[in-house]
Chain A
Amino acid sequence: MYLTDEEKRTLDGNSGPGNQKAMELLYALGKAFDAERLIPVSRAHVALSGQEGDTYWCGLLVDGGARCKVVPTTNPAWDVEGLSRRFDVTDDELELAVRTVDVYRRIGAELTFCCTPGLGTNVPLFGEHVAFSESSATPYVNSVLGARSNRESSVSALASAVIGKTPLYGLHLEENRKGDFLVVVEAAMKESYDWGILGWYVGRFAGSRVPVLRFRNLDRRPSVEDLLYLGAELNTSGAVPVYHIEGLTPEALSWPSVFKGKTPEAELIVGDRELKEQEETLSENKGPINLVMLGCPQYTYSQIRRVEELFKGRRVKDGVGFWILTSFDALELASRSGEKERLQESGVELVADTCIDEPCWKSFEGGLGMTDSPKCAYYRERRGQPFVIRRLSECVEAAVLGEVR
């Protein structure tokens, strides 16, 4: 791989050990993928996880003198101040969370703690080369906005933020962004939930190929939330950092050049029955619940409003937690506009800066949870809590009753 003299000097350690490590990572990735050279990135998003390995890497770079050239936004960990008073966490877990915030602050990250950067805090334009980690954010900026990002890890996205560059390979090259196979969707897409189930179903077939979706029964244009749900699940059950929708997403407006070769026959046809079966295989069945958890990806302000409408002033049953995880700006809006207070009266809590996959939620483990997100259920199950996955209106009804019937 070609490196400029300045890049070579960084690799040799002339700009300090932190920059050297970051450059070593980009150089190794570039070599592994036969990248011709490095190209500048204009934006980055780092999926900080609050796990040891990830925090160690950020500490290694910053203690070696590195600072971000491109200011990255960051994923949520958990709201240490608010939630450690509410829930049991160990000293080690608390210490790691505090240390994680500290190293990312020192390296110069913009601490948004938000997993939906493409909606407001870090929005690339069409054709912009960026380095976005976070499995729901990467497909959103690639597919919906038309920016160009590989499926970055938190580690590689941080290296790109430090150096301000990424190796030129994969989805930075036009030919690799084109569709590999066609999916025809006949199912009725009623709300974001259906897009999530569809994403999980298609992701399983896609592996790491690029799907192109054609909808037969779409009675309205999808919302931002619909597309977020689709991408989050495609890139969880599969490794799908980019998809296209015929006539809707920017790289699928001119048909048939969206495909790598000529337009293929439909490889997959998805109807209501397939989505119903997918829901049944993913979800637990029924029983008393101790938690409804919404916000994977973090809920938007309009989703918060929708929850209030569905409650119609009723209350969550005693003994059931109802948590909506949201972004700091949506929380602020809900606070100003009154939803936060009214939802609290219904027993619904809102929290910003927090991911579902964090130790602060362990007091609910052992019981049955409920969510509208297969991705939430997938990661919570690894921590020992099974989930029923249903559409939002059913989550609200179950919360009022205290059980899924």
Chain B
Amino acid sequence: MEKGTKTFSCRPIVSGKASGEAIVSEEPMCFYLCDPKTGEVIEKNHPLRGRSIAGKVLVLKSGKGSSVVQVDGFYQLWAKGNLPVAIIVKDTEPVLVSSAVVVSTVMVDRMEKDPFEVINDGDWVEVDAESGIVEVRPKEL
């Protein structure tokens, strides 16, 4: 293991393995309010507005919005290849889970430490939803 890398247990929701740069949203998200062509968050007043979630490991508070729009939002991002590669959820809810299964996005929850305390924007994160492990390599300062 590289120096500074920390490992945490988690609970797999949608299986698979993926790694990428972390992007952290302490607010819930409606994926319908992302631009499918870029993965950029377009929701007014959202803390991630103007930033892209494409290809990243998204650390997410929770989901919001009706099931129809959330599922369609995931689908549109997936069709353009602009979904996050994995999602670490704090408060799991049914529509978010359903949406992730539809397009097979790796998803975990119940990290042993509060993900917002141990993962920062730009950290390198490996999510292993086969064995229930999240590995975090802090961004070099």
Interface residues of A (CB under 8 A from B): 21, 24-25, 28-29, 31-33, 47, 49, 51-54, 56-57, 60, 133, 135, 150-156
Residues of the B chain whose Cβ atoms lie less than 8 Å from the Cβ of A33: 94
Q: Chain A residues near B82 (CB, 8 Å)?
A: none
- The answer to whether A133 touches B67, judged by C-beta atoms less than 8 angstroms apart, is yes
CB pair A53 B13 closer than 8 Å: no
Quick one: given A52-B75, A53-B75, A56-B75, are A150 and B68 in contact (CB under 8 Å)?
no
Whether B109 and A32, one on each chain, are in contact in the complex, defined by CB atoms closer than 8 angstroms, is: yes
Q: Are B76 and A153 in contact (CB under 8 A)?
A: no
B101 touches A24 (CB 8 A): yes
Interface of A, secondary structure class, is helix
B98 at the interface (CB under 8 A from A): yes
Tally of B interface residues using CB under 8 Å:
26
Tell me if B98 and A29 are in contact (CB < 8 A): yes
Subset of 22 A-B contacts with CB under 8 Å = A25-B97, A25-B98, A28-B14, A28-B97, A28-B100, A29-B98, A31-B11, A32-B13, A32-B94, A32-B97, A32-B109, A49-B68, A51-B68, A53-B68, A53-B71, A53-B73, A53-B102, A56-B75, A154-B71, A155-B99, A155-B101, A156-B98
Q: Within the complex, what minimum Cβ distance (angstroms) separates A34 from chain B?
A: 10
Q: Contact at B14–A155, with CB atoms within 8 Å? A: no
CB distance from A236 to the nearest CB of B (A): 9
Indicate if the CB atoms of B98 and A153 lie closer than 8 Å.
Answer: yes
A155 and B75 form a contact (CB under 8 A): no
Beyond the given A28-B14, A32-B94, A52-B76, please list 8 additional residue pairs across the A-B interface where CB-CB is below 8 A. Answer: A25-B101, A32-B109, A33-B94, A53-B75, A56-B102, A60-B102, A154-B68, A155-B99
Closest 5 CB pairs of A and B: A153-B67, A53-B75, A53-B72, A53-B71, A25-B101
Whether the pair A54, B94 counts as a contact (CB closer than 8 A) is no
Residues 83-111 of B, flagged 1 when their CB comes within 8 A of A and 0 if not, give 00000000011110111111000010100
Chain B positions within 8 Å of A52 at CB level: 72, 75-76, 79
Q: Are B94 and A150 in contact (CB under 8 A)?
A: yes
**CB within 8 Å of A: which of B12-36?**
13-14
Q: Flag if B72 contacts A51 (CB, 8 Å).
A: yes
**Which residue of B is nearest A236, CB measured?**
B66
Q: Does B124 contact A (CB under 8 A)?
A: no
Collect the chain B residues with CB atoms within 8 Å of residue A28's CB: 13-14, 97-98, 100-101, 107
